Amino acid sequence: MKRPVRLEPGQKLVLTANRLLDGRTVWWGADGTWDLHIGRASLLDAEDADAVLARVVAEAQRDGVVGVYDTAVQAAVPPEPVTVREKIRAHGPTVHPEFAVETDQ
């Protein structure tokens, strides 16, 4: 579900989706691939995001992803989502630290 995003200074947009086959949260990288780790997400400026999003949405079926949308992040290394929801999508459920995305292979 896309939420309206107003970028604050220091924020960028990233594209995210879920993989069709296993449902895992993925992030769109500059090389056009989808990755489990937000650290490899491509950071977009607000003015470019719509065009990139449209292109990536059109390729979603071929790329095996579902529900592509953009979300705001703090443009750090690695980027950190702004909302609690996207933080949880990026890192895993807060109630199961053993399932953190960072420890996934």
Which residue type occupies 45?
Answer: D
In angstroms, give the least distance from the CB of 94 to other proteins: 6
Ramachandran bin of 37, using left for φ above 0, alpha for ψ from -120 to 50, beta for the remaining angles: beta
Residue 74 is a binding residue for other proteins (CB under 8 A): no
Name which of 10 and 23 has its Cβ closer to other proteins: 23
Name which of 30 and 104 has its Cβ closer to other proteins: 104
Terminal alpha carbon distance of the chain? 27
Largest CA distance in the chain: 38
Residue 24 is a binding residue for other proteins (CB under 8 A): yes
Piece of 7-15, 37-45, 47-55, 93-101 that binds other proteins (CB under 8 A): 93-101
Q: Is the CB of residue 69 less than 8 Å from the CB of residue 17? A: yes
Residue 92 is a binding residue for other proteins (CB under 8 A): yes
Q: Is the CB of residue 11 less than 8 Å from the CB of residue 73? A: yes
**Which residues form the interface with other proteins (CB under 8 A)?**
1, 18, 20-25, 61, 66-67, 82-85, 88-89, 92-96, 99
